[in-house]
Structure 1
């Protein structure tokens, strides 16, 4: 959905209600948790956020509030959407002077402590009203030594005719978002010295 004005909360709510009746627009639901399927572009970002429980807690809070989407030209709406499998979320983006809404659904929400450390995150998959098909997994992990990392793993391809025509540019923008997401997370969890 494209518009010249910024979609407000009411427009986003209506958009999400329409998408709630739809199924995912790709067959490989859940694949971001393992080996990425063929037939898609793949992108992986892995950055160090810092060390210690405070950094992990701040990163966990950031993901819970969808802060990884706040890169200046993209945001997740509403940011109060709980990390619960089956919840829908709209991604509002702005480029070329237009606003676009894309619909996603939570495929996986996870958090666990293991002998080797702990992790926390969420995976979202695309719904029919999204220019791409695929999934993104946003994850933070803390090693037993205390190192905290942020990873984004994605597999994606064009979903619509217009997206196919503009795919080189859209692929660049989607990957740019994922890279900027890492910068946003690093800045958000930085501990003053």
Structure 2
């Protein structure tokens, strides 16, 4: 069970919805990839996610108000390329700390070009000890330029989600 969602000035109403059924009216996205096997890998990847390694691994991480994710942590990511980049504010909504799931979700704050929430997690399947990286989100444009970018924004989201998971994959994989 995720920690209790934190209410704050998010720029969308469905705070915490990545922990259940995604709300209508948003683009839904889920990516789940096997990164290896074993409880040790699960523990290592879970710690890496909570330490923002997914965001750091893609080069978009800028700063966070806590060294590891916890409900209420404010963080910023930099989206875009060169002079076309923008700093996007987010806040951790909840942290997952379950026997077979670990990670966190953050929601967008005013000033972010999207509206919605994204989950970054690792899952352990005790049946065969497989470990999976998971990125799931619901979002919709929050600015004119993300509305205009439509399908291109979705392609970039899918590409970055793969990079997030690659960032927690063991070096030998």
Q: Which TM class, normalised by the smaller chain length?
A: 0.7 to 0.9
The residue number in structure 2 matching 1:122 is 104
- For 1:91, the equivalent position in structure 2 comes to 77
1:156 corresponds, among 139, 148, 161, to 139
In the alignment, which residue of structure 2 is the partner of 1:171?
A: 154
Distance change (3 Å), C-alpha of 1:76 and 1:176: farther
Residues 122-131 or 139-148, more deviating: 139-148
Give, in angstroms, the shift of residue 61 of structure 1.
2.1
What TM-score, normalized to structure 1? 0.77
- Matched-pair contact (CA < 8 Å) for 1:94–1:100: yes
**How many angstroms apart in 1 are the aligned matches of 2:119 and 2:58?**
20
Larger radius of gyration: 1
Gap runs ≥5 in structure 1: 1-21
Q: 1:66 aligns with which of 37, 42, 52?
A: 52
Partner of 1:17: none
Structure 2 unmatched runs, 5+: 1-7
2:120 equivalent to 1:134: no
Closer, same or farther in 2 for the Cα pair 1:81/1:157, shift >3 Å? farther
- Cα distance in 1, alignment partners of residues 51 and 68 from structure 2: 8
- Do the aligned residues in 2 keep the contact of 1:75 with 1:93 (CA within 8 Å)? no
CA distance in 2, matches of 1:104, 1:53: 30
Give the SS at the match of 2:25: coil
Shift of 1:138: 0.9
